[in-house]
A and B are shown apart, each in its own frame.
Chain A
């Protein structure tokens, strides 16, 4: 059984509060005494183990896994001929698109590049608030953006700090052609929602493009194209098309 004295010595050693002579004695014991070594390891590792938020994280993850439907489609292995045909079709499409883009307006480019992603929010908070957000997300997924906007607005009045909801609200506004309101919501998020900063930058650039604010669009697209992120190549292509 570890003694109170040993606990005190080990704690002092770990916090560098021992004299050189006492520290040397601890190092000698660590070399010769496996039990003492084990006790030091436990005393050292207990505080981070107990104050860690791993249990809370595990609980979050379990809830997410229980409430998230995965795509059940199996991966198929395509025969080589089909792969080659798919590549050829993509190349043909690319050439066609390139030929067509020469006289496109910013609004045309917006229409080409704006796609609305599926929502991926886990609904939390109180039951009442969650119900409104659930309705907003259901309307969003059903592409009923006008209805989604109303629900999002109500939800965000009660829970203005929900960045994910505000992000998808912005996309819903864009999809329903409410660009000024989309812009102000995206600007409110910019620099604050670390998890999806690049997405905010992308969609904000598209809003500027739609409104004919080419210089503002180029600033965002230049940032995206010069760093490694999910939008790098799209931003590079779009910048070339604008220029």
Chain B
């Protein structure tokens, strides 16, 4: 199928979670990623997982107002998926892999690595956030969205002083859980 989109249209469409654009990206680029993963010891399921995680990194990049796209989505997505698979192989400790079998020169690997680390840290934060109780999640979600303590108190049926206290204890619990997570420390060291 011929491409209907310019690079800018793809970026803007992806930013808005436009289903047609996302489908187009899947149909167009998934075979390339599947090929890379399967040639380097992965299964179809691995390829699917890596592609999804790669797309999330690209999606998060489109949300960054300060990001300047110097390469195409295709190049960036390939670099992200490639790095993700390398990291996966190294973590399994069955490989001391520093290269993959492909014919592609991927530029800017350090920036891609940084983007992947940021995305994985955010995933980890969301994971620990999900372990909090409902009240904590609501209080913190409202706080992170910029709501005042008065509004949070009203919404939760608390006094303002109690809402403040609740926000602090929930935040403390969450920060502690994240900072003690070995994966967070591993990512910080990478």
A positions within 8 Å CB-CB of B: 1-2, 4, 7, 35, 38-39, 41-43, 45-58, 60-62, 64-65, 68, 70-71, 117-118, 120-122, 124, 164, 194-199, 227-230
Contacts and interface: CB of A to CB of B under 8 A. Distances in A.
Given A7-B172, A50-B125, A195-B5, A65 B26 contact: yes
B179 A39 contact: yes
Given A51-B145, A194-B9, A195-B13, A42 B4 contact: no
B179 A42 contact: yes
B63 interface: yes
A51 B141 contact: yes
Q: Nearest 6 A-B pairs (CB), nearest first? A: A47-B144, A49-B122, A195-B13, A49-B125, A229-B6, A122-B19
B57 to A, nearest CB: 9
Given A4-B172, A46-B174, A70 B27 contact: yes
Contact of B1 (A56, A120, A228, A229): A120
Given A1-B176, A61-B52, A117-B4, A52 B20 contact: no
A61 B13 CA distance: 13
A199 B121 CA distance: 39
A58 B56 contact: yes
A70 B30 CA distance: 9
Interface string B53-93: 00110011001000000000000000000000000000000
Contact of A2 (B3, B22, B175): B175
B122 A45 contact: yes
A232 B1 CA distance: 17
A124 B19 CA distance: 10
Contacts of B175: 2, 7, 39, 42-43, 46
A43 B93 CA distance: 32
B172 to A, nearest CB: 6
B17 interface: yes
A65 B125 contact: no
- Judged by DSSP, the binding face of B is helix
B4 A230 contact: yes
A38 B179 contact: yes
Interface residues of B, number: 51
Interface of B: 1-6, 9, 12-13, 16-24, 26-27, 30-31, 48, 51-52, 55-56, 59-60, 63, 118-119, 121-123, 125-126, 129, 140-141, 144-145, 168, 171-172, 174-176, 178-179, 188
Contact of A120 (B24, B55, B123): B24
B22 to A, nearest CB: 6
Nearest to B1: A118
Contact of B59 (A41, A42, A57, A70): A57
Given A7-B172, A49-B122, A230 B5 contact: yes
A223 B126 CA distance: 45
Contacts of A228: 6
Contact of A64 (B23, B123, B145): B23
A164 B27 contact: no
Nearest to B59: A57
Contacts of A124: 19
Contacts of A54: 56, 59-60, 119, 122-123, 126
B26 A195 contact: no
B26 A117 contact: no
